[in-house]
Amino acid sequence: MAAPGKVAAFRLPPLPTIGEIIKLFRLKALKQLSQNFLLDLRLTDKIVKQAGELKNAHVCEVGPGPGGITRSILSAGVEQLLLIEKDARFIPGLQMLSEAAPGKVRIVHGDILTYKMEKAFPKHLKKDWEDEPPDIHIIGNLPFSVSTPLIIKWLESVSKRDGPFTYGRTQMTLTFQKEVGERLTANPGSNQRSRLSIMAQHLCTVENCFIIPGQAFVPKPEVDVSVVHFTPLVQPKIQQPFELVEKVVRSVFQFRRKYCFRGIETLFPENGRLKRTEQLMMTANVDPTLRPFQLSMSQFRNLCNAYRKMCDEDPSLFVFNYREELRQKKMTETLLGSTGQPEQT
């Protein structure tokens, strides 16, 4: 968990306010891009503090927009700040900030979902995975439609130690819709416990830092926002490939309200499904009548390990796709008609 950092370690020269920047460059928030801006620098300071000590750190800010969080990051005394912004309208305002902090800011007009992070920082910052996290941080207030696919992509990168995690256990401080923040940190038994809880918590220490009320943004979104901090774990709690963990967890949560047995069944082809499901549950020592949201991390680990063992014994198992089986079955039924006989034409 990051110890909250100090913010004012570097003084920016007097600048127009964020509100004035928005007016000056006519930066009307675009609804279709879910743009909601933070104008209150006390709040942006509070977000940036959650990242921990940033003095002399290298930071990547995703979606800087008009630059509120950007100013707080610069004030924290960072060594280098990389800004990745998709909307070209914000670039001139960001350039103005860059001139106010000479030699510190690099602006990329691009999409964070495709930007290659493995070469974004100097090589000498690299740390071994087992070491303390490197002096590299990712911070961002992104649209909800981007932050959720992005965190899934980055969790996969944590597992594979690629992208931003080529440098070691890079920490992230990101915003999410409040409900997604609750899912990311939900404990067993909680209503919000979901696929995202297991995928995030098995790879990272995840901390729901605080809630920003919707009215703090301009324009106001329909929901409140969570600031969430992630530190990749030295040892993932489930030591299996990302794709395997993802498949097991997705299958289990497919029928949220039913016994976990029901979702686990979908890991196996129809022929021998019941027997194999029983075998998996027995090997994993998991009560089949527990509901998915009741399962602990160690029960998920046992399920993944037991499934891995079965896949090693029968390599065709891992590629089995339940939805594809259903689709094929439906097609056959349509072809044969309801009588089970080929239809007369």
Binding segment (CB under 6 A) for ligand SAM, from list 79-87, 226-234, 289-297, 317-325: 79-87
Q: How far is the CB of 169 from ligand SAM (least distance, A)?
A: 23
Whether 230 contacts 204, CB under 8 Å = yes
Q: Are 111 and 150 in contact (CB under 8 A)?
A: no
Q: Is 38 helix (H, G, I), strand (E, B) or coil?
A: strand
Interior angle at CA 64, CA 183 and CA 140, nearest 5 = 25
Instruction: Provide the minimum distance between the beta carbon of 98 and ligand SAM in the complex, in angstroms, as a whole number.
Output: 16
CB 41 → ligand SAM: shortest distance, Å? Answer: 11
Q: What is the DSSP string of 191-246?
A: TT--HHHHHHHHHEEEEEEEEE-GGGEESPPSS-EEEEEEEE-SS-SS-S-HHHHH
Q: Which of 5, 65, 93, 232 binds ligand SAM (CB under 6 A)?
A: 65
Question: What residues between 102 and 121 interact with ligand SAM by CB under 6 A?
Answer: 111-113
Single out the residue of 99, 93, 87 nearest to residue 24, CA to CA.
Answer: 93
CA 337 to the chain's CA centroid:
45
Q: Is 108 exposed, middle or buried (0-12, 13-18, 19+ CB in 10 A)?
A: middle
Binding characters for ligand SAM, 19-58, by CB under 6 A (x = yes): --------------x-xxxx--------------------
Q: How many residues bind ligand SAM (CB under 6 A)?
A: 24
Output 94 or 260, the one with its CB closest to ligand SAM: 94
Q: How far is the CB of 218 from ligand SAM (least distance, A)?
A: 8
Q: Is 93 in the site for ligand SAM (CB under 6 A)?
A: no
Judged by CB under 6 A, the residue of 49, 58, 71, 86 near ligand SAM is 86
**DSSP strand pairing (171-177 vs 105-109):** unpaired
Span of 86-94, 244-252, 270-278, 282-290 interacting with ligand SAM by CB under 6 A: 86-94
Q: Are 171 and 191 in contact (CB under 8 A)?
A: no
Nearer to ligand SAM, 91 or 297 (CB): 91
Residue 124 CB, nearest distance to ligand SAM (Å)? Answer: 27
Instruction: Considering only residues 132 through 191, tell me which ones interact with ligand SAM, judged by CB under 6 A.
Output: 141-143, 146
Contacts of 187 (CB under 8 A, 6+ apart): 193, 197
Residues that bind ligand SAM (CB under 6 A): 33, 35-38, 62-66, 68-69, 84-87, 90, 111-113, 141-143, 146
